[in-house]
Amino acid sequence: MFRKSLSAVILLSVASMQLPERAASAFELKSVKIDLPDSDRMFPAGPGSDAINNNCLACHSAGMVLNQPALPKQAWATEVNKMINNYEAPVAPEDVGTIVDYLTALKGAK
C-alpha cells in the first residue's frame, strides 16, 4: 500500500511542476561549424593507385587509410566491403579486387 501511495505522490509531484521549472532542465542544441584541414595527399603510385585514388578519396583522406595497421588480404577485403555495404561508398565493382590488392601490397600484414 505504501509503495502505491509513494508512486502516486511522486507522479503527482512531477506532473504539478510549473512549466518554467521543467524548461530550466532542458538543453539547447546549437549548430557548430568545423573546418577540417584539406588534404591533397594521394596514395603512393603503384599498381592499383588510380583505382584507390578514384574511389576512396571521395570519403576520406589517404593519410587516414595509410595510418591503419598492416592487415592480411582477407581483412582488407572485409574493410573495403564494409565501406561499400555499410557506408554506401561509391566504389566501382570492377575496382574492388584492385583496391584490396593495392592495400595488401602497401599495408599487408607480413
State pLDDT tens for residues 17-32: 665 555 556 788 888 8
Q: In sequence order, what are the beta bridge partners of 71? A: 108
Is the whole-model pTM more than 0.75? Answer: no
Q: Examine residue 89 and state whether it is found in any structural domain, yes or no.
A: yes
Q: Examine residue 96 and state whether it is found in any structural domain, yes or no.
A: yes
pLDDT tens by residue, 83-99: 999 999 999 999 999 99
What's the domain count of the chain?
Answer: 1
Is pLDDT of 51 > 70? Answer: yes
Domain boundaries, position 102: 49-107
Percent pLDDT > 70 in the chain is: 76
Diameter over CA atoms, the chain: 78
Give 100's pLDDT tier (boundaries 50, 70, 90).
very high
Average pLDDT of the residues in 45-58: 95
Query: What letter does residue 68 receive in the DSSP assignment?
Result: S
CATH number, domain of 55, equals 1.10.760.10
Q: Answer whether 53's CB lies under 8 Å from 91's CB.
A: no
Q: Examine residue 78 and state whether it is found in any structural domain, yes or no.
A: yes
Q: Examine residue 29 and state whether it is found in any structural domain, yes or no.
A: no
Which residues, other chains included, contact 58 with Cβ-Cβ below 8 Å and sequence gap of 6+? 89, 90
Q: Examine residue 44 and state whether it is found in any structural domain, yes or no.
A: no
